Amino acid sequence: MRTNNYEVLNEFSDVIRSIYPRFFSLTDGRLSSPVQAAYLHYILDHDGCSQHDITNMRFNSPATVSEVLSYLEKQGLIVRERSEADRRKVCLHLSDSGRDLTMRLREQYYTFFQTCMTDFSEEEQNELFRLLEKFVSNCPPFSKEM
């Protein structure tokens, strides 16, 4: 039995960190960080979003977002297109291979978490997601001071 909440949080953090190396084996070396995968998932869910949108949604600096997007573009996973409505805006889309890879990652991710929640009732699963949503909404942006 765990003696304190810190131990539970630490173990949970270890589980989350451990899944990424497993999932990256599905990418043929094209992804190496959770941030790259997170951007692909965001673009899948927000097709046509801008680099600015990602900067506002994630806890990364504009320079980091630019660097990660350039890497994903070089890997052939995303494409950038000028908006027809506003030529100043560059829209981000997944390429066909980016969509396929992101869907494979998402499927493996959900399968992993479904396995972890095997003994949870539907009510417990709903409560977990409700609490996680609350947790995420309370997370402050990361800063160098933290």
Residue 96 falls inside a structural domain: yes
Residue 144 falls inside a structural domain: no
Residue 131 falls inside a structural domain: yes
Residue 63 falls inside a structural domain: yes
CATH code at 35? 1.10.10.10
Question: What phi, psi does 80 have (nearest 5°)?
Answer: -110, 135
Is residue 118 very low, low, confident or very high in pLDDT (cuts 50, 70, 90)? very high
Q: Is the pLDDT of residue 126 over 80?
A: yes
Q: What is the mean pLDDT of residues 16-33?
A: 82
Residue 10 falls inside a structural domain: yes
Q: Which residue has the tokens 């889309």?
A: 93
Question: Do 23 and 38 contact (CB within 8 A), yes or no?
Answer: no
pTM of the entire predicted model? 0.80
Reduced 3-state DSSP string for 24-66: HHHHCCCCCCHHHHHHHHHHHHCCCECHHHHHHHCCCCHHHHH
> Quick check: helix, strand or coil at residue 108?
helix
Return all residues near 78 (Cβ < 8 A) that are at least 6 apart: 40, 43, 69, 72, 92, 93, 94, 95, 98
Question: Do 82 and 90 contact (CB within 8 A), yes or no?
Answer: yes
pLDDT for residue 73 = 97
Residue 146 falls inside a structural domain: no
More confident site: 42 or 59: 42
Question: What phi, psi does 45 have (nearest 5°)?
Answer: -80, -20
Q: How far is CA 111 from CA 23, 43, 145, in A?
A: 11, 21, 36
Domain holding 54, by residue range, is 5-138
Residue 117 falls inside a structural domain: yes
pLDDT for residue 9 = 85
Q: How many domains does the chain have?
A: 1
For residues 84 and 91, what is the distance between their CA atoms, to the nearest angstrom?
10
Residue 134 falls inside a structural domain: yes
Q: Which residues, in sequence order, are bridge partners of residue 92?
A: 49, 80
